[in-house]
Structure 1
Amino acid sequence: MEYAEYKWVRQNREILLEQCSNLNENEISKEFDFGFQNIKKSLVHIAGCYHAWLGSFVLEKTERPLFTNEEITTLDINDIKQYFLEADQYVEEILDRERNELDNRIHKTAIWKQDNQFIEKTIRQLLFHSITHEYHHKGQIVTMLRMLGYTPNNTDVLRLSI
């Protein structure tokens, strides 16, 4: 992954976050029977993946990468945007590394997981997982927007300028 590709991820995310900024609290918190049940929880879950796998597991920059459900209810869209900006810093720090370093294996427990099992993954796997994970849940958020009666903004990478 290069900075240019991650820039597309960020541009797509910004389009979605901007649309979600126009939702009221009832809409962003409306419960559905799939995914993480609402848009707010889904957005926080997406950013949390970057915080957990990259910020905590790879970079060891945080010992508490995830919010509790109670904390999530107190967040507003600006808090969520800030959480994503922090996640972007983790990605940039990883992209600054030498390419061959991305294939280094990390073997340890994840502090946010309760099972204390050792996990062995490469930095590249965890970066790729975080990005594909974002797109998976972005699709769920787009579905939630449709169910709320909105036409989701186009977040296809092909619509972005190069």
Structure 2
Amino acid sequence: MERIEYEWIKQTRQILLEQCRELTEEEFTKEFEFGFLSIRDTFVHVAGCYHAWLGSFVLSETTFPLLKKEVINNMKVDDIQRYFNQADEYVEKVLEQFKNKFDEPIEKEPSWKAGSGYIRKTPHQLLFHSITHESHHKGQIVTMIRLLGHIPRNTDILGLSDIKFVK
């Protein structure tokens, strides 16, 4: 995977985060019967996936990436942005540190699932999982925004003709 592809993912994520800044607290935390219930909790879950699989499993930089419910309940969009910024740093480190061994398996027990047994996955697989996982949940967030009565902004890369790429 090239860094440019991940930039596209970050840019479409940013579109949704910016739209969430316009939501009321009640809308941002309204619970639905799908996803991780609210827009806030779904975003935190998505970022947590990067923290768990890349930050903890691949890079061994954190031992318990999941946030406690009390912390999540107080998170605002800026807090979620910071949580994603750290996740983005993990992606960059994985792309750099594993560029010559991207498809070499890592076998160990996830720190957040003590006693669950060993998992054998490559950095490539776990990065790809984190990205597809994010895409799945971004679709749920778009649906939540629509159910709140708002028109979701376009997050389709093909429809973003004015998108600027950062290298």
TM-score range, shorter chain: over 0.9
Give the match for residue 102 of structure 1. Answer: 102
Q: Considering fraction of residues, name the structure with more helix.
A: 1
With structure 1 as the length reference, what TM-score do the two structures score? 0.96
**Unaligned stretches of 5+ in structure 1?**
none
Partner of 2:64: 64
CA distance in 2, matches of 1:84, 1:140: 18
Q: Is this contact kept in 1: 2:28–2:38, CA < 8 A?
A: yes
Residues 115-124 or 132-141, more deviating: 115-124
Instruction: Determine whether 1:30 maps to 2:30.
Output: yes
**TM-score, normalising length: structure 2:** 0.93
CA distance in 2, matches of 1:104, 1:31: 40
Q: In structure 1, how many angstroms separate the alpha carbons of the residues matched to 2:153 and 2:114?
A: 38
Alignment partner of 2:106: what SS? strand
- Pairing of 1:3-82 with structure 2 (within 5 A): 3-82=3-82
Q: Answer yes or no: is 1:124 the counterpart of 2:124.
A: yes
Structure 2 distance, partners of 1:58, 1:98, is 9
Rounded to whole Å, the distance in 2 between the matches of 1:67 and 1:98 is: 27
The answer (yes or no) to whether the contact 2:98–2:123 under 8 Å persists in 1 is no
Distance 1:106 1:15, change over 3 A: same
Please report how far the alpha carbon of residue 97 of structure 1 lies from its aligned counterpart in structure 2 after TM superposition: 3.2
Aligned length: 162
Describe the SS at the equivalent of 1:88.
helix
Cα RMSD (Å)? 1.2
Ranges of 4+ aligned residues in structure 1 off by more than 6 Å: none
SS at match of 2:101: helix
Distance 1:153 1:111 in 2: 37
% identical equivalent positions = 56
The CA distance in 2 between the partners of 1:159 and 1:64, in whole Å, is: 38
Task: Spell out, residue by residue over 1:122-146, the C-alpha distance to the aligned partner (whole angstroms, 9 max, x if none).
Answer: 1100000000000000000000000
Cα distance between partner residues in 1 of 2:76 and 2:98: 36
Structure 1 residues 115, 139: CA separation in 2 closer, same or farther (over 3 Å shift)?
farther
Alignment correspondent of 1:137? 137
Q: Secondary structure at the match of 1:120?
A: strand
